[in-house]
Structure 1
Amino acid sequence: MICESFPVGPFQCNCVILACEETRTAVVFDPGDEADEILGSLARHQLKAVFLFHTHAHLDHIGATDLVRTKTGAAAGLHEEDMPLCENLHIQASLFGLPTPPTPPIDRFLKHGDSFSFGKEKVEVIHTPGHTPGSVSFHVPAFGLLTGDTLFAGSVGRTDLWGGSHPTLINSIQKRLLSFPDETAVLPGHGPRTTIGRERRSNPFLV
């Protein structure tokens, strides 16, 4: 599997590109900013993006979606419960004094248990609400977990923003993420990689 991960934008969201090495079809996760960097990475690896999937609809995870979608023709996916955030990017941007990106059309509403193929690889949707109502994590069997702003290395997502709930967040992590084996790789929405085992043993919010 081809994997490219790089932080984008002022909030340094981890944008992740995973692709089938044989077919060169790719999924872009959380295209939050710096569309030229994302498009450049796809071009360098000669990849065709088929999906733009989002862990949630905060500005830093969805800001470049409209442009990347227009340039690639990839289908944008988001959990329906985060549509109020997607439809109010102007409010999100104003809170930080940032320009408002275009609101992207959402082609697919992601649901817990959905599975999508890209070439010979697949990605599974896990609804993990708490950071936002529609937060999801993604399980790519050949790679591991992409947890967005639900679970970080040594921390968890904040819950003091619109729609956040700390008890719901912890329940999502304990019931749906910690069910994976200890060796499962975790790539959060910000910061370094970790593993389920490391977080199970030492994350202060979970022990």
Structure 2
Amino acid sequence: MQYRLFVVGPLLTNCYVLWDESTLEGYIIDPGGNNLNEVIDFIKSRNINLKYILATHGHFDHIMGVQSIKARFDGVKFLIHKDDERLVFRSKELAEYFNIPEDFEVPVIDGYISEGKIDEIEVIHTPGHTMGSVCFLVDNKFLFTGDTLFKGTVGRVDLGGNAEKLFESLEKLKGLDDRLIVLPGHGESSTLGEEKNNNPFLNGTLTLQDIAS
């Protein structure tokens, strides 16, 4: 599967378009901006048959463009883990907390993600940043981590999350292949091996108490 990165929205969210070159079936991960014309134009230029919008979690900066995408592509469905349903419903409230002036339509959820597979995409439930956070493993090569794992750090836990759960989720990710390319919700990419070696939350330098503080 191929992917293309777009940095979108007021918090510079990494939005990913994935597609299968043979079938042209496609997916969007985390459309976190209102102005997604570049994303939409790319999908149309490649004749991608968009099937699902997938959210790594329910914070507004990862879902605020869902309805604009759905308005442009017939039949596309928005999926999220059920444990983040409440965050979706309260997404405008959180945007106001961050003083984000952009208006957006609260997404309509079409279905729920659970640990397992969506077509050929493996879903890994990684609660912590939020209780419904997930990572997506594609082709045993790409690991889309949302705000669970960043290059050199991890996601905050004070906006609907839990430090102990995040620590457990990081331990789960540490069991995956070092060669996986980590594609986070914000910032630069990395590899899982690099994070195991250099990320203080994965190499033992920092502990559960540090995540909670």
Shorter-chain TM-score tier: over 0.9
SS in structure 1 opposite 2:197? helix
Calculate the aligned-residue CA RMSD, in Å. 1.2
Structure-1 residue corresponding to 2:70: 69
Q: Is the 8 A contact 1:59 1:93 kept in 2?
A: yes
Structure-2 residue corresponding to 1:87: 89
SS in structure 1 opposite 2:5? strand
Which of 163, 170, 173 in structure 2 is aligned with 1:173?
A: 170
Cα deviation, residue 142, structure 1: 5.4
Provide Cα deviations, 1:18-66, integer angstroms capped at 9, x if missing partner.
1000111101000111221221120122211100000001111000001
Structure-2 residue corresponding to 1:194: 190
Q: Is the 8 A contact 1:89 1:100 kept in 2?
A: no
Report the Cα distance in structure 1 between the residues aligned to 2:57 and 2:118, rounded to whole angstroms.
Answer: 18
Runs of 4+ in structure 1 displaced over 4 angstroms? none
Please report the TM-score for the alignment, with normalisation by the length of structure 1.
0.92
Structure-1 residue corresponding to 2:103: 100
Gaps of 5+ in 1: none
SS in structure 1 opposite 2:196? helix
Q: Does 1:55 align with 2:56?
A: yes
Structure-2 residue corresponding to 1:160: 158
Of 12-21 and 68-77, deviating more is 68-77
Q: Is the 8 A contact 2:60 2:92 kept in 1?
A: no
Which of 138, 142, 145 in structure 1 is aligned with 2:143?
A: 145
Q: Is the 8 A contact 1:93 1:100 kept in 2?
A: no
Report the Cα distance in structure 2 between the residues aligned to 1:92 and 1:41, rounded to whole angstroms.
Answer: 30
Report the Cα distance in structure 2 between the residues aligned to 1:138 and 1:101, rounded to whole angstroms.
Answer: 25
Q: Is the 8 A contact 1:139 1:145 kept in 2?
A: yes
Percent identity over paired residues: 38
Letter in 2 for 1:170: F
Report the Cα distance in structure 2 between the residues aligned to 1:142 and 1:45, rounded to whole angstroms.
Answer: 24
Structure-2 residue corresponding to 1:30: 30
Please report the TM-score for the alignment, with normalisation by the length of structure 2.
0.90
Gaps of 5+ in 2: 204-213
Report the Cα distance in structure 1 between the residues aligned to 2:141 and 2:23, rounded to whole angstroms.
Answer: 17
Number of equivalences: 200
